[in-house]
Amino acid sequence: MTTRFGVLVSGSGTNLAALIDAVDQPGAAAELAVVISNKADAYGLERARTAGIPAVHISHRGKERASFDQELVDCLEEHGVEWVLLAGFMRVVTPTLLDGFPGRVINIHPALLPSFPGLQGQRQAFEANVPIAGATVHFVSAETDAGPIIAQGAVLRVDGDTLESLTQRILAIEHRLFPMVMAWAAAGRLRLERGRAVVDLLEGERRGLWGN
């Protein structure tokens, strides 16, 4: 039995590509049941089709946030989804989605939360000149980028870093972090308990990764 994940994307979907690679590994306990995008031309949808995963466009245009989210919930339920992964999904979600999958909606953010929430976390970190940047995977709550933290990956800023080079290093660690968390969820080793993320770690596992 595999655990069924739905992935929501708005853009190029390199995180989705990392998740696809992970579920293709022999013995993977996770399955990608559907990929949904609010953008018809999101390259993530193309990646899903190529991988043989149902790819669905649901436009958010001209809709109330809650009714858009209800369409997402309906589609995710139709595909038997158990966990929802937001992988570069550029819409604020409402309680409609969160109540549809209580404690089972996860987001990846390109900064070490609680620092630099919101748009362009990498740019915020770069401009703040912090020596350590990174990415965070967290449970989604009603407040943007403020839900319980599950795992983080850190990268050092190095001499000569540009916004682009730092962003690439953060993205590379995102591609390790998100599949790791998906595997925990698939194995039944991740849960939300009294407002905190709990992971049953195996020997040698950590909730943090280093990128350089």
Q: What residues make contact with ligand GRF under the rule CB under 6 A?
A: 9, 11-15, 87-88, 108-110, 135, 171, 174
Which helix (H) or strand (E) covers residue 57, if one does?
strand 55-57
Are 117 and 123 in contact by the 8 Å Cβ rule? The answer is no
Q: Which is nearer to ligand GRF, 88 or 211 (CB)?
A: 88
Cβ neighbours, 10 Å, residue 59: 12
Q: How far is CA 139 from CA 41, 113, 181, in A?
A: 27, 12, 11
Q: How far is the CB of 174 from ligand GRF (least distance, A)?
A: 5
**Which lies closer to ligand GRF via its Cβ, residue 12 or residue 96?**
12
Q: How far is the CB of 90 from ligand GRF (least distance, A)?
A: 7
DSSP string for 64-83: -HHHHHHHHHHHHHHTT-SE
Q: Least distance from C-beta 127 to ligand GRF, angstroms?
A: 16
Q: Which is nearer to ligand GRF, 100 or 110 (CB)?
A: 110
Beta bridge partners of 43: none
CB-based contact 111:134 (threshold 8 Å) = yes
* Per annotation, catalytic residue among 79, 109, 138, 175: 109
C-beta of 204: minimal distance to ligand GRF in Å? 26
Q: Is 57 a catalytic residue?
A: no
Please identify, using beta-carbon distances, which residue of 73 and 140 lies nearer to ligand GRF. Answer: 140
- Give me the active site residues, please: 109
